[in-house]
Amino acid sequence: LGPHEQRDEMEEKLQKLENGFALVVSRIGNLQEREAHDQLLQVVADQKMYDVVIGGLLYGVLLDPVNASKYYKAMTLLSNGSWFCALCTMNMVLIEMYPRMHAEPRDQIFFFFRESIKVNVPKIDNVLINLIRNANDGGDLKESCKLLTGVVSLMNEHHAWLSGLKPKASLIPVALLTFSRFIYELTMASQYETLCSQMINLCQWWLKERFADCAQLGRDLVLLLMHLSKLPQFTAIWRQLLYAPNKLSSDFNGIEELMARPCPYNLLTHHISVTFMRKMEFILKYLPTAQEKHIEWIRLKHLSGADSGSLRAAWIRSAIYMPCNETTQCSAEARAILLATITAQSTSGVEQQWCKLNLLWDWLCYDPSVGGHIWLEPGYNALRHLLHMQPLLANSLLDFLVRMSAELHPPLRARITTSVANALKAISDFNIGSPSTIIDHHMVQKSVREAFRETFKIPARSAVVPSPTAPVPSGENKQTPSAGDGPSQSGSGESLSKLPKALQPETTSVELSEEMDGSDEKIGALLAAIKEEFRDGIESLSAASSADNEARCELTNRLISSLFDNYELLDSEQVELIAECFLTIFRKQLFSRKPLPDDFIPSLEIFDQIFSDPLYVIFRSFCMLSDEDAVRQPMLSLISEMRERCPSVSYLLLFFIFSGRGDQSETDTSAYRDLCRELGKPLMQQLVADLRVCHMDDYMLFGHLVPITFEKFAADAMGSVELMKLLVSCLDGNQVLNLISGYIHENITLFRKDSFPAMLTASLSWEPMAQVIFWQLVHGESVPIDWAVQAIPRLQYAKHPEAVSNIYIMLSRFDREPNMNLLRALLSRSSVDMFTADCLKILIREPESASRVAELLASLMERAIHAGDLTPQSLVGKQKRPNQRSVCLELLFAHLDQFRQSCLSKESNIAEQFLSRRELQSAFDAARKSDKVSTLRIRFSELFAVMEILCDDGAQNPRTSRRRAGKKPIDLSDDESKTKKKRQKPIVLDSDSD
């Protein structure tokens, strides 16, 4: 470690090695080899000291090259054929310490491996894997190539050992993954031609002689070879793979066998370094929202190097196969956001295409007989996020699937097309989500949607309404509302006809019965563990899947009543089982909801029809319970358990409450607040998460919920930066209009003064289009410039064009006299851009405002001269109030000098009239006479010269400098100034006599 490098969790481990080395040196000193070995054998006679001594010897091998052979011989003697302790210690060094080691101990690591291979240390190949893994860190390419050069030399020197590795050893596929990535990156780099050639030779040998080992990679071996397909050295491999697979291995049946086989996760983890992997796990575990700054942290550290293109794709493969469950505590949503963001960060077109292929490769290869549906979920969730983060990229991904199915390898076109179709079916069958959520999303282009449906034989979504004149086949007496069409269902055929066409169900009773076959089996398996008091109710409700909503609501009511009557039996296990039953019974409503139609207009009649669905009986029963009711907590646990398994539960509960169906007061939100507490999430964090999922599932419902959110949760919503970021990223034009209309009607307020500066500052890092929407809302609510004053010093002219231009608009509409607080904020900024000069020009358009600005500027100049605040350095330690920014004379002159250069000699002569004002001329006269300002006078000599010329012009034409009225008192406080009095125009009434 470096002498100034901070020691953290490695300190204790490193200290143990140092202590072990100190013990070894103290015992063997300058003794002969035999005597030294005897001394060490005496020490390790105490079994507790064995690990210490072995660690000390390894430390000596790495830190003392001169005596490394002596230490290694001693280690061989003490190990006595059992190298477990030594290999574990070396693994710890490679995983924990290698990234921060100096060059010399890194070189000694290769000495350790050479000696270990010579004496045939068992399982040394598994340790070598961790050394190779360090090349996949995205750091300095030279260091990575130096490491790979050492590894390649090691393998070439010990070819016999490499050939004798046991079958299906992990070293060969891991080395093949890493070497192939660097071969692709280094092919065009002449300085690494030798290294590249050696890696190619090794990869060719492995593929021809150890193909069974390479085949462990499964479909990722095909992906790897595609990356190298342009190299002539791999042409023969491709020919054999496609046309003569038996030449590679006698029991190998061809490329389709590889494509059907997923890659084991333990191999893909070595695609990136341990440091990189741990940072990714940290984000997935502890930062479920995957904030932008942490993703940027990953990018800057690991994905900005010379090999970032191929490493980004390697990271995508590793992230897809990383398990996200209760054991790993990884968030699937965070992984989806990370995948979407990293894919969108691809720089070149070729790199982005490669990242797309890595993201969706499991879709193109999916075989239901082999399984692996869990690896379809990351791509599906990433697509959902991209539809509102980067809709163009999401469309290109869908188009990419269509094109790849035809162009990847034409002879396999039918197989690949079937794989994608089976993947879409598995996404629905295994409750990952609904493909229609993506395909029918409003951001998907019509041409892409039609091509996708045609290629993968997905029927177009259309409402199937029973016709009164059509013949009814036997077995289909009448059409039954589908459980998958969400809250847009009714209780009977009579009420169905009253629903708008887009709200009518689209699934026939035959389709529904087929869908429910698997559900009945699952319910049957769950019933065995459910207590008898609840069993009959669940069984009856499950069996009534083909009944109308009125009958199902009645059965749901009975089941809820039995839960109420026997609530003391609802332990955590029963709650989980019953929640799973409800999710299975109401699967279609929850997992495959049909979005609200584009012409949705809220009304009591529509709500009555929507909430006649039996799912809402659960919500209604829960909302009607008082806080003191003993049944409330078990019901809360039940709904919470459903929400953990299905994210749509909570936003549908919110929809139910917002529609005035929660209780008699029609304003109670305690049910949702209690659910947030039960889930262990703050109100706004959960609300943002629910609205985000709602937007992906049903953007019309999202637009309906947003205004009511600001109405019902006003105190929390107005100050939430994350909520505002979600809104401006997701709202469409009509929804923005509805929000502004809600403000006009005094129903909602989006912003408040205390939180607006923080919100404005946060918006500077948002996407440009999101900032445009944000400022639309700001102007729609007529937010005054005073609220933005605290954020003005943080604005950068070139970096924040959206914010700067909208500050100009706010100033143009400013209907108050400027105050000292605003002037300080403008003048305390750096003078590197034109922002302050532009703002001054806007403020002096009106004569009264120009007069006030001149007075405030003169006052600031006089105060700075008197206090000696000449430069920024002179202000250090003088600021008394945290919200009051001090202004030094140097910055003030710099801004006025920019104003002079950019605004003088214009047709309006506004700038000349402003600089000629008596207050400013008096202040500059004081600056001329002050000895303190001599240095600044020389630096800004042109500004002083212009002011003197304008002073002379004003003396010759006294009318230009005459004050309109008596001098106003100067207010140096930071309070808001009074509204300017505007000249009132005479009112002219129309007359009939005209």
What confidence tens digit (pLDDT) does each residue in 841-852 have?
999 998 888 999
> Can you read off the two tokens belonging to residue 322?
């990383």
Q: How confident is the model at residue 168 (pLDDT cuts 50, 70, 90)?
A: confident
C-alpha separations of 896 from 46, 383, 705, 820, 864 in Å: 81, 51, 49, 16, 15
Q: What is the mean pLDDT of residues 52-69?
A: 92
The CA-based dihedral angle spanning residues 196, 200, 203, 204, taken in that order and rounded to the nearest 10 degrees: -170
Which of 664-678, 861-875, 972-986 shows the lowest mean pLDDT across its residues? 972-986
> What DSSP line would sit under 420-449, residue for residue?
HHHHHHHHHHTTS--HHHHHT-TTS-HHHH
Neighbours of 366 (CB within 10 A): 28
**Under a CB-based contact definition with an 8 Å cutoff, are residues 100 and 11 in contact?**
no
Q: Is the model more confident about 983 or about 371?
A: 371
Tokens 């303190």 belong to 932
User: Is a pLDDT exceeding 70 seen at residue 258?
Assistant: yes
Q: Considering the entire predicted model, what is its pTM?
A: 0.56
Mean pLDDT, the chain, rounded, equals 83
> Can you read off the two tokens belonging to residue 306?
């010379």
Most confident of 564-568, 808-812, 949-953: 808-812
**Which amino acid is present at 82?**
S
Helix (H, G, I), strand (E, B) or coil at 272: coil
Pick from 140, 215, 211, 138: which is nearest to 181 by CA? 138
* Ramachandran region, residue 957 (left: φ > 0; alpha: ψ -120 to 50; beta: rest): beta
pLDDT for residue 965: 39
Which secondary-structure segment (H or E) carries 181?
Answer: helix 171-186
Rounded Cα distance, 406 and 417, in Å: 8
Rounded Cα distance, 80 and 76, in Å: 6
pLDDT for residue 854: 93
**Under a CB-based contact definition with an 8 Å cutoff, are residues 62 and 87 in contact?**
no
Rounded Cα distance, 822 and 631, in Å: 57
pLDDT for residue 732: 86
**Under a CB-based contact definition with an 8 Å cutoff, are residues 554 and 613 in contact?**
no
Helix (H, G, I), strand (E, B) or coil at 472: coil
Rounded Cα distance, 726 and 438, in Å: 19
Q: What is the mean pLDDT of residues 346-371?
A: 89
C-alpha separations of 601 from 499, 607, 703, 704 in Å: 12, 10, 11, 9
**Under a CB-based contact definition with an 8 Å cutoff, are residues 791 and 761 in contact?**
yes
User: Is a pLDDT exceeding 80 seen at residue 328?
Assistant: no
How many degrees, rounded to 5, is the angle at CA 582 between CA 577 and CA 586?
Answer: 150
Q: How confident is the model at residue 492 (pLDDT cuts 50, 70, 90)?
A: very low
Q: How confident is the model at residue 961 (pLDDT cuts 50, 70, 90)?
A: very low
> Can you read off the two tokens belonging to residue 297?
């942290």
How do the residues of the chain divide into helix, strand and coil, expressed in percent and rounded to 5?
Answer: 70, 0, 30
pLDDT for residue 170: 92
Q: How confident is the model at residue 202 (pLDDT cuts 50, 70, 90)?
A: very high
Pick from 349, 345, 341, 347: which is nearest to 378 by CA? 341
pLDDT > 70: percent of the chain? 85
Most confident of 216-225, 268-277, 590-599, 813-822: 216-225
**β-sheet bridge partners, residue 816:** 979
User: Is a pLDDT exceeding 50 seen at residue 779?
Assistant: yes
Q: What is the mean pLDDT of residues 577-594?
A: 82
pLDDT for residue 856: 93
> Can you read off the two tokens belonging to residue 848?
């009264």
Q: Where are the domains of the chain?
A: 10-212, 275-455, 494-506+521-528+536-683, 716-816, 819-994
Which of 129-143, 299-313, 436-450, 467-481 shows the lowest mean pLDDT across its residues? 467-481
Distance of CA 713 to the CA centre of its chain: 25
User: Is a pLDDT exceeding 70 seen at residue 7?
Assistant: no
Pick from 837, 723, 809, 838: which is nearest to 770 by CA? 723
Q: Is the model more confident about 467 or about 555?
A: 555
User: Is a pLDDT exceeding 60 seen at residue 883?
Assistant: no
**Under a CB-based contact definition with an 8 Å cutoff, are residues 242 and 104 in contact?**
no
Q: What is the mean pLDDT of residues 828-854?
A: 90
Pick from 132, 139, 186: which is nearest to 154 by CA? 132
User: Is a pLDDT exceeding 50 seen at residue 82?
Assistant: yes
pLDDT for residue 359: 94
Which of 76-80, 220-224, 654-658 shows the lowest mean pLDDT across its residues? 76-80
Rounded Cα distance, 439 and 451, in Å: 11
Q: How confident is the model at residue 518 (pLDDT cuts 50, 70, 90)?
A: low
Rounded Cα distance, 828 and 978, in Å: 23
- First-to-last alpha carbon distance for the chain, in angstroms, is 95
Neighbours of 805 (CB within 10 A): 11
**Under a CB-based contact definition with an 8 Å cutoff, are residues 487 and 652 in contact?**
yes
Rounded Cα distance, 839 and 651, in Å: 44
User: Is a pLDDT exceeding 70 seen at residue 296?
Assistant: yes
Q: How confident is the model at residue 282 (pLDDT cuts 50, 70, 90)?
A: confident
pLDDT tens digits along 635-650 = 999 999 999 888 889 9
Rounded Cα distance, 161 and 165, in Å: 7
Q: How confident is the model at residue 309 (pLDDT cuts 50, 70, 90)?
A: confident
Q: How confident is the model at residue 325 (pLDDT cuts 50, 70, 90)?
A: low
pLDDT > 90: percent of the chain? 43
Q: What is the mean pLDDT of residues 407-414?
A: 91
**β-sheet bridge partners, residue 979:** 816
pLDDT for residue 769: 85
Question: 10-212, which class in CATH?
Answer: mainly alpha
Which of 46-50, 704-708, 786-790, 974-978 shows the lowest mean pLDDT across its residues? 974-978
Alpha helix stretches (DSSP H) within 586-698: 587-591, 604-610, 615-623, 632-645, 648-656, 670-679, 683-697
Distance of CA 37 to the CA centre of its chain: 57
Q: Exposed, middle or buried by CB within 10 Å (0-12, 13-18, 19+), for 755?
A: middle
Rounded Cα distance, 338 and 324, in Å: 13
C-alpha separations of 445 from 398, 451, 502, 541 in Å: 10, 10, 20, 40
Q: How confident is the model at residue 666 (pLDDT cuts 50, 70, 90)?
A: very low
User: Is a pLDDT exceeding 80 seen at residue 583?
Assistant: yes
Rounded Cα distance, 497 and 508, in Å: 16
